Structures are given as C-alpha cells and as structure tokens.
C-alpha cells in the first residue's frame, strides 16, 4: 500500500468500513500540497508556526499512558539516552501519566502532562480529573499535542505503541510534522498481544493505514528470537523493510549511598514488584501467603506495591506484612527501581516490559508470574524468555497456585542461573541502536538547517 494518503471526514477521523481502515482514492481534482494543507490545519486550530530556534536537535516523544507506568518509563529511558549521546539535543515527553511528576528527568529532558483518562470496567474511558466527557478530553489532548509540535518543532517524533495515539489524537500532530519535514518513528515493545487480538484491535483503530501513511521507521524494542509482534498484520513489504529490531533497552542503577537506601540495610532480599500495581494484588497476595506458610524461606522480601495499588487491598497487605516482622519490608513506590533490582538476590515479578529489561540488564535470577488479562502480553513474554533460558515462569494453570509453589520458587532463586546464562547476541543493544537510528534519520535535516535550508 506504500505511503498512500488517507481521506478524512470532517472530524479528521480515519474512514472505517467493516472494522478496517479504507484508503480511498484521490479525488479527480489535484489536492493541495501537504505543506499547504498542514498550514491550513494549524490555522484552524489556532496554532501559529514558531520561529526557528537553535539548530540543536529536538525530539518529541509521545506516551499516551492511560494506565500503568510502562510507556512513560520507556520514553524517559529513550530520551535520557538520546540526550546523553548529544549534548545539543533537547527531548520533550508528552505523557498522560498521572505520576509523571514523581520521576526525575535529566538535563535537557522535560515533560508535558496531558489531561489524564482512565479505563472503566466495561472497557469505556472517562476523563481522570476533569468534569468533561471523554470526547472533549481527547480534543483538548489533541490540541495540546499539536501546539507542542508547532512550538517545539521537533526534528524527530517517537510515538510509543499507539500509531495514532489514544483515539487517534495524534492526527493533527503527525500530519503537521510530516509536512514540516520531521521524521516520524513508531516504537513498540517486544510483545503487544496475541496475534488475533492485535489484528482486531489495529483494524478497529485503522493502525496499519496510519503506519503506512506517516511513519519513516518502526522500532521494535526487543529481539526477533524472542518474539515478532507484527507478524500476521496487513502491513506492506515497504513497512517491513523499514522495521528495526533494536534489542531490549539496557538499564543502569543510580548511585545512592547505602545510608540513604533502607533496602540495603535489610540484608539479602528478594524483590517482589508489581510494576504500576493496578493489577498486582494477586502477586502480592501469593508472595505473602508463601511467607505465611513457609517460615524457613531464607531470603527476606521487599514488596513494591506500585502507585496504582488499590488502597483497601494495600492496607490489608500491610497488616499481613507487619505480622511477618522483619521478614517483609514494603515500599509504596520508588522511581529508582533499578537500584532495588541491583541490590536484590533475585526478583519476583509479573513480567512487564520495563521490569524485564531491568532483570536482563542487571542480570538477576527471576521468577515471572505473568498476568493473563486484559492482555496476554506478559504470558507471551514469559513463555518466550523461559524457552531462551532467561527466567523461570510461574503459571498457575501449569504449576499450581498453592503458597508452597511460590515459596519453593523464591527459595530456588538462590541457585537459579542469571539471564546471562541464556543471553543471545545483541539482546541489550536497544539504546545504542536507537541512538544510531536517530542520528541517521535526523542528519539530513540538521545539515539543511545548518546551511539555512
């Protein structure tokens, strides 16, 4: 299908027929140029082009973040690597995460907090804090994104996971950026979901048509030996030709004085982490039950609830942890998770992308107990990683759900081999590859700007 244009209706939504995006043929009369069309779009949105600033590269990263921490943490890691590589580069993260302000951002990296949205039990969405309906919230987010693009004028835009953004809120931004000559990249994690579910979801969103039209490259933050997340999708050979497997994103632990780091005073411990924590109650419950059942587990546990753990459940877990005394330490949230991983003897986790990268990077024996709803992402990742010899998986339908199953797995971390025993070539080259690809994509534009182009 190539980089075909997609006709828009008055709301600028993709034209959908039968659940799939349809690329309509061009009208008989010649359409206006992309540059003129983008200028008209900006004018209608009340956005004036900003004067050109310094020639130093600018990167905008989009992280929709309707739930959890994964998208923001991945975008922050990438932005930090790009800024560290190029002292003249500035990176701006556009994020919907409600906890973005609790993270430290390095020099020349900043963020803009988009109005938040939350998913309801029936699958619909609502505004997180504003007393407006979801459609108005999306229009507000779209306008903020377009305004940031027009003012910041990035050379490169990196979109995390959602080709069109939340409810295609990136439509104006992608069109204007492309018309201006910015390079556009879609970055996706190693596993999105099972193939059938992903095909249906992306057909409903018109994702493949958006990719064909806008994106210069696709970056898959993983290794093909582990999983190929885009297999089976109706993407053209041209899109596959510009798809790059980067490898996983290496993480490093920050330097912190042991005196300022309570877990370091706790002796040998196993780290139990739920990521954002919104769906981590089952893992915490299973771990506490293991310690309640087996008083001889030789490792203490540090439990990290995550910022989205249900308050009532957390209060109950705190009571159970207190009854176990010094065997259990609890932490609500820490933005320096890499340090917690580094100091641990082993890790028990659900297997989200960022935690998996930390386990690989810091070479820690790990037990992954993946969730299986609402997505199969974690199960697919854990199954693949276990086959490669990187981690041990605990899956209740296969291994059982008794507290002793978890107790034995924690005890086994003492002798379990680290991920390096099964490592494949280039597994952790992600940030190096991203830096190199960003240089290659933006170099022509930077040369043109330096010469007044």
State residue 167's pLDDT score.
94
pLDDT (tens digit, 9 = 90+) per residue, 248-289? Answer: 999 988 776 655 555 555 568 999 998 777 788 999 999 999
State residue 180's pLDDT score.
96
When pLDDT is averaged across residues 2-9 and rounded to a whole number, the result is 38
Please name the residues in contact with 312: beta carbons below 8 A apart, sequence gap of 6 or more. Answer: none
Q: Which residue has the tokens 């390095």?
A: 106
How far is Cα 100 from Cα 90, in angstroms, rounded to an integer? 18
The 3-state DSSP class for residue 158 equals strand
Q: What token pair was written down for 20?
A: 């799939």
pLDDT (tens digit, 9 = 90+) per residue, 307-329? Answer: 888 899 999 999 999 999 999 99
Question: What superfamily in CATH does domain 258-422 come from?
Answer: Glycogen Phosphorylase B; (3.40.50.2000)
Q: Are 103 and 96 in contact (CB under 8 A)?
A: no
Q: Give whole-number Cα distances, 319 to 167, 308, 314, 324, in Å.
A: 41, 19, 9, 9
- More confidently predicted of 62 and 266: 62
Q: pLDDT tier at 123 (50, 70, 90 boundaries)?
A: low
pLDDT (tens digit, 9 = 90+) per residue, 367-393? Answer: 999 998 888 999 999 999 999 999 999
Q: What token pair was written down for 137?
A: 């919230």
When pLDDT is averaged across residues 186-203 and rounded to a whole number, the result is 96
Q: Are 41 and 176 in contact (CB under 8 A)?
A: yes
The 3-state DSSP class for residue 228 equals coil
Q: Are 159 and 170 in contact (CB under 8 A)?
A: yes
Backbone conformation region of residue 50, classed left if phi is above 0, alpha if psi is from -120 to 50, else beta: beta
pTM recorded for the entire structure: 0.83
Q: What token pair was written down for 312?
A: 């009532």
How far is Cα 339 from Cα 364, in angstroms, rounded to an integer? 12
Q: Are 119 and 126 in contact (CB under 8 A)?
A: no
Q: What token pair was written down for 266?
A: 């706790």
State residue 40's pLDDT score.
46
User: Is 3.30.70.260 the CATH classification of the domain at 55-250+432-450?
Assistant: no
Q: Report which DSSP code applies to 434.
A: H
Q: Are 188 and 71 in contact (CB under 8 A)?
A: no
How far is Cα 136 from Cα 276, in angstroms, rounded to an integer? 27
pLDDT (tens digit, 9 = 90+) per residue, 430-444? Answer: 999 999 999 999 987
> Which of 127-131, 183-187, 355-359 bottoms out in mean pLDDT, i.e. has the lowest?
127-131
How do strand 90-95 and strand 366-368 relate by DSSP bridges? unpaired
State residue 254's pLDDT score.
75
> What is the domain partition of the chain in residue ranges?
55-250+432-450, 258-422
How far is Cα 177 from Cα 445, in angstroms, rounded to an integer? 13
How far is Cα 63 from Cα 89, in angstroms, rounded to an integer? 19
Q: What are phi and psi of 438, to 5 degrees?
A: -65, -40
pLDDT (tens digit, 9 = 90+) per residue, 124-148? Answer: 788 888 889 999 999 999 999 999 9
State residue 18's pLDDT score.
34
State residue 216's pLDDT score.
98
Q: pLDDT tier at 422 (50, 70, 90 boundaries)?
A: confident
pLDDT (tens digit, 9 = 90+) per residue, 214-249? Answer: 999 999 999 999 999 999 999 999 999 999 999 999
Fold equal for 55-250+432-450 and 258-422: yes
> Which of 97-111, 192-206, 285-299 bottoms out in mean pLDDT, i.e. has the lowest?
97-111
Percent of the chain exceeding pLDDT 90 equals 66
State residue 27's pLDDT score.
36
State residue 375's pLDDT score.
86
């Amino acid at each position: 299908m190539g980089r075909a244009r997609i006709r828009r209706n008055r709301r600028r939504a993709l034209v959908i027929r039968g659940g799939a995006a349809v690329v309509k043929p061009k009208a008989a009369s010649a359409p206006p140029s992309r540059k003129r069309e983008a200028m008209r779009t900006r004018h209608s949105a009340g956005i004036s082009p900003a004067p050109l600033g310094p020639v130093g590269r600018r990167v905008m990263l989009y992280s929709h973040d309707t739930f959890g921490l994964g998208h923001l943490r991945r975008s922050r890691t990438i932005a930090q690597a790009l800024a560290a590589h190029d002292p003249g580069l500035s990176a701006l993260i556009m994020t919907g995460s409600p906890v973005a302000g609790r993270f430290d951002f390095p020099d020349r990296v900043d963020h803009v907090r988009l109005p938040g949205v939350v998913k309801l039990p029936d699958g619909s969405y609502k505004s997180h804090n504003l007393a407006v309906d979801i459609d108005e919230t999306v229009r507000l987010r779209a306008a903020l994104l377009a305004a940031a693009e027009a003012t910041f004028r990035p050379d490169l835009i990196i979109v995390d996971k959602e080709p069109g953004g939340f409810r295609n809120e990136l439509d104006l931004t992608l069109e204007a950026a492309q018309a201006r000559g910015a390079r556009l990249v879609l970055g996706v994690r190693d596993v999105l979901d099972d193939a059938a579910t992903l095909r249906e979801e992306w057909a409903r969103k018109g994702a493949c048509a958006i990719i064909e039209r806008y994106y210069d490259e696709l970056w898959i933050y993983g290794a093909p030996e582990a999983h190929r997340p885009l297999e089976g999708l109706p993407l053209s050979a041209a899109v596959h030709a510009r798809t790059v497997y980067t490898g996983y994103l290496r993480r490093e632990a920050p330097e912190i004085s042991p005196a300022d780091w309570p877990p370091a005073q706790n002796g040998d411990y196993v780290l139990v982490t739920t990521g954002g924590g919104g769906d981590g109650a089952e893992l915490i419950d299973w771990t506490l039950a293991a310690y309640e059942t087996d008083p001889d587990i030789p490792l203490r546990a540090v439990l990290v609830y995550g910022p989205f753990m249900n308050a009532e459940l957390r209060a109950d877990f705190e009571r159970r942890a207190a009854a176990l005394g010094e065997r259990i330490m609890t932490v609500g949230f820490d933005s320096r998770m890499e340090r917690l991983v580094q100091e641990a003897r082993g890790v028990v986790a659900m297997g989200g992308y960022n935690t998996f990268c930390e386990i690989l990077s810091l070479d820690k024996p790990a037990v992954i107990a993946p969730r299986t709803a609402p997505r199969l992402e974690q199960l697919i990742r854990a199954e693949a990683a276990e086959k490669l010899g990187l981690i041990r998986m605990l899956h209740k339908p296969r291994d059982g759900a008794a507290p002793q199953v978890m107790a034995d797995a924690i005890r086994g971390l003492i002798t379990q081999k680290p991920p390096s025993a099964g490592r494949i070539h280039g597994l952790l080259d992600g940030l190096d590859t991203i830096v190199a690809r960003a240089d290659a994509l933006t170099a022509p534009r930077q040369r043109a700007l330096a010469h007044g182009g």
